Amino acid sequence: QLNILSNGRGLSQFTAKAWVNFNGEGTVAIRDSHNVSSVTDNGTGNYTINYTNNYANANYVAVPWANWDNSSLGVNTDTYSKEVDSVNVRSWYDYGNTNPVAVDAVAIGIVGFGD
């Protein structure tokens, strides 16, 4: 069931409640988003994504993704400290599983599903 809220947003279990694509290098800047008010740079490869409208609880799913430097090198991402009003995302490059290094990503973000 798709519910249309008074502010015009559609909400359902099969639509993303929040998503964001932002520049994680230098001055962090949101390229495009839905239900994200801001992104905070907490240091190299560490960001807090702040929601405009909170989730009902912290049991939602936030799937992170990133592109480190527009090359063929992949970057690892994970989420932690998931709250109803925000989620933290980290990005790092793993040099042969021996020396993970935090990196700022040229493009990074999340897609979130939940109540």
For the entire predicted model, the pTM comes to 0.85
Instruction: Write out pLDDT tens, residues 48-85.
Output: 999 999 999 999 999 999 887 665 556 788 898 999 99
Residue 97's pLDDT band (boundaries 50, 70, 90)?
A: low
Which of 105, 93, 94 has its CA nearest to residue 47?
Answer: 105
Structure tokens at 99: 């020396």
Q: Mean pLDDT, to the nearest integer, of 42-47?
A: 96
